[in-house]
Amino acid sequence: MKTKTIVFFVIVLGLLLTACGAGGTPATEAAAAPTVLADDTIISEGRVEPVRFVEIGFNASGLVREVLVKQGDLVTAGQVIARLESGGVAQTLETAQAAAARELADANEAVRAAQYRLDNFDIPSDLKPLTPSEAVRVTYEKLEKARKDYEPYKYTNQKKEVSDRNEDCKIKNGIETCKNIGRYYEKALDDAWAKYRKAIDWLDREAALEKAQARLSEAQKNYGDLQNSANPEETAGTRASLANAELRAPFSGTIAKLDIKVGETAAVGTTVITIADFSKWAVKTTDLTEIDVVNIKQGQKVIITLDALPDVELTGAVDSIGQTFSEKQGDIVYEVTIILNDTNPNLRWGMTAEVKFEK
């Protein structure tokens, strides 16, 4: 990075004229040069790139059947760029739309069935004021208490067989009493287990409905995105993942790089096309050190000079300042992004630029 700093200096010139003999000429006073103020402009080096670009590839592997563009072509958002041989996991937009329609119908049916199960659940009267999760918590606490109360009588002779339970505990005047204290706590534990299982069942039914609703929401989104041709950029992600036998432009721009041919095998996730919008340019610094980055502010004015176009001066402003760092030749450097106000027909991706940050 080049930082222009002119150090203060004073040049003192003295012309001493020494008189020789009587009546010599007196010495001339030293003349002081004017002080020059320091220029603390920060200068950095950067690279030119389009503000907006994307590298894309297929979301499925397969044999390339069609390539419908060539490098340098202009494309519009949603335009098909290339296609794979459909089959296996690869599907075209039409097959993806049909699959999305089926999934939407299945998801609707799953919600209906889950809602029916929940609506027909017989909630115990003492749990009705609670939510399912609250009911699980409360019944679990009661179960733990019942388990603890029964523990001292678990292995005593007071315990009787299941067939005798109705003889041990009777309900009189609405109050249940048991002749055998061990039997009393055993029955209380059985009842606590029953209530807890009931609460768990309630919670499971509610969870099943929530899961079905989430599935329906996702199905509705996928179906809508695949049908929506008005906003292809907004739905590009869904189109790419579901209609994975087709590669579509996520936004309007230029095919900057094309690395795919008919008959080749495309691997899933491998970048094969770069699309860029060359209507707006940015410069990203490559050597702005930690000493200087603290003096850079968002929105700060910048003057750009290109090595390839030394007579062209462009202006811009700081758009963002990197929060992470990298090391370059032993220095800690930060990336600063400048958005250019101007453009030039000779601008090219990757050109080296001198970046002057104005105070």
List phi, psi (to 5°) of 333. -125, 155
Every domain range in the chain assigned CATH 2.40.50.100: 58-90+244-270
Rank 78-92, 108-122, 140-154 by mean pLDDT and report only the highest.
108-122
Residue type, 138: V
Q: Which of 337, 334, 325, 319 is nearest to 283 (CA)?
A: 337
**The domain made up of 42-51+278-357 is a member of CATH 1.10.357.20:** no
Q: Where in the chain does DSSP place strands (E)?
A: 12-13, 31-32, 42-56, 62-67, 74-75, 80-84, 169-172, 175-178, 246-248, 253-258, 265-266, 273-285, 288-289, 301-306, 313-328, 331-340, 352-357
Every domain range in the chain assigned CATH 2.40.30.170: 42-51+278-357
How do residues 54-110 score in pLDDT, each as one tens digit?
Answer: 999 998 899 999 999 999 999 998 899 999 987 667 888 888 999 999 999 999 999
pLDDT at 88: 66
In DSSP terms, 42 is beta-bridged to 3, 357
Instruction: Give the CATH number of domain 58-90+244-270; options: 1.10.260.40, 2.40.50.100, 3.30.559.10, 3.40.190.10.
Output: 2.40.50.100
How do residues 284-333 score in pLDDT, each as one tens digit?
Answer: 999 999 999 999 999 999 999 999 999 999 999 999 999 999 999 889 99
The model's pTM:
0.61
